[in-house]
Structure 1
């Protein structure tokens, strides 16, 4: 009997565990390890951040659904991976042996790479996790009460840009419904070389389509943007050319900002020698 362990119960991990269980049958064991008890549907976080969803509508307890399929579930953080002897060390000190390991943890959010970034000790919001989206919603409500400038986008080194565009369009609609959009200038700040690049070199005519949608909503933008630091109510951005040379510096005031960070590997994965690139 083989023991297949999945680490990370997000969309990929959960789907993978179900598929693996069905493919292997009863003669093998599948175990899911996740740092929390509940599944969180990350794509709905931008909706939560403007009050279009409640937390309980986009999350549910993992254990009963996995155990119904005879998939074991452990709610602990993995602190160490030993790929030579094939075992994991959990946050509570327990050891889990495996024959095969599937890593689906998702990223570590590298807010620390830009001074002043992030919802914990910084000045920007995030929709990367459910708690971040809840925190952002509280800031959104303050924006509706006291409208002012907004900055949305992605930090230097970011590799996931779609949620920033989605949040910009959702926020535009939410503020319009609240009757205050005309009092909220929005600037989209992105490290992409052009609007609609998406970290993929564009998708079809994504450049033309996304530029058109931003113009339609009176959202200005800065591309090739390197956010260097953030202070309370102010973002400092270097606009660079194709060679990385600064061509213009911006000081952008804001009363609300949602900026996606760069990603790194979670610690347990990143410290396995030879497994990852330098960012983990």
Structure 2
């Protein structure tokens, strides 16, 4: 069999999973190269704790380079400019073009800070380590000069779960610092109802979240469109203004520049069109997984809501993609794993409590769906974090 060169772009949930899984499948029979603009894997779910000083960078990252070297996987740390889909090359900023037989794109997204005026300048975020560090600094300033808090999931956002986690962790930290009377909290969201999550809801999560809002005296605004983020608060499209001394907005994602710069690869928002085998419909040697791919939302909402794709579903997409690359090399039929039909696993942390969320499908209809609230969910989240990072540091995916 002719030795193929498979290039994987990205090295987090999609890219790292794809690289290790692919190596297990092909051994030394084919060449694997990973290209990414960083050599660190970041466990994004832990960024909900980082602003409060509960995690440091070393706790939630690891260097992928020695792991790739030990497994015979080539690694190039560089920025991808674009892809030449006709010539089968990845164009890099500081290296020669990289020719591939197959490419698996797992870049993750680009954060769109420009679609809402003031979003970049006046809001905080937890969508990356750098911005989470700025959020930590803003939190320290807030503790010295407390006041109203606004946590928001903006129109087009998709990481609603992380927004809820940060909301309730903020509430917990406010209470720990004895600031409840000085720091009223408002949650602003594009969702049509509480705990919609961008997936049309899940079990009785709506009732649970509404109970928590009422119990903790959190004001919440649904179907909201943010018009502008100001230094002293958030202005909605309907004219309502919510003053804030500490603002965290979960923004929308778009495709990364390298994908958007490549004609025919993605849709208008820069997300890659793939079928249920995670293969591009036109370029059959192009596969993609994770937040980089386009997933159709489950029904229309009054205000646009994205579909969450991070973590577990990203890893499943990546595994399916590389298994199908191997199948294609061998001339075997590709196997589909529809996003809607993937199992749903999530632990939503709320500071010292939480919810364990389990379902047989990501999207409705589901035959089985369970939500288990309580302090055990918080401890389960902590245990999972430790297990996940240990396993990935030891190349177990």
Normalised TM-score (structure 1): 0.93
Q: Where in structure 2 are the equivalents of 1:188-203 lying within 5 Å?
A: 188-203=187-202
| Equivalent of 2:97 in 95, 118, 123 | 95
Which residue is 2:383 aligned to?
Answer: none
Runs of 5+ consecutive residues of structure 1 not aligned to the other structure: 239-247
Secondary structure at the residue paired with 1:56? helix
Which residue is 1:72 aligned to?
Answer: 74
Provide the rounded CA distance (Å) in 2 between the counterparts of 1:10 and 1:214: 33
Q: CA RMSD in A?
A: 1.2
**Which stretch of structure 1 is more off in the superposition, 270-279 or 81-90?**
270-279
1:204-254: CA deviation from partner (whole Å, max 9, x where unpaired): 12211211122222111001000011121121113xxxxxxxxx4311111
2:78/2:95 contact within 8 Å kept? no
Runs of 5+ consecutive residues of structure 2 not aligned to the other structure: 271-397
Which residue is 1:54 aligned to?
Answer: 56
Normalised TM-score (structure 2): 0.66
Q: Where in structure 2 are the equivalents of 1:153-192 lying within 5 Å?
A: 153-192=152-191
Provide the rounded CA distance (Å) in 2 between the counterparts of 1:87 and 1:212: 53
1:8-41: CA deviation from partner (whole Å, max 9, x where unpaired): 1111211111001101111111111110121111
Provide the rounded CA distance (Å) in 2 between the counterparts of 1:23 and 1:215: 51
Q: Which has the larger strand fraction?
A: 1
1:153/1:165 contact within 8 Å kept? no
1:154/1:161 contact within 8 Å kept? yes
1:106-144: CA deviation from partner (whole Å, max 9, x where unpaired): 1111110000002xxx10001000111111001011111
Which residue is 1:21 aligned to?
Answer: 23
Which residue is 2:258 aligned to?
Answer: 268
Which residue is 1:125 aligned to?
Answer: 124
Q: Is 1:84–2:86 an aligned residue pair?
A: yes
Provide the rounded CA distance (Å) in 2 between the counterparts of 1:148 and 1:178: 13
Provide the rounded CA distance (Å) in 2 between the counterparts of 1:197 and 1:69: 41
Give 1:160 shift. 2.1
1:66/1:72 contact within 8 Å kept? yes
Provide the rounded CA distance (Å) in 2 between the counterparts of 1:91 and 1:205: 49
Aligned length: 268
The 4+ residue runs of structure 1 with deviation greater than 6 A are none
Which residue is 2:11 aligned to?
Answer: 9
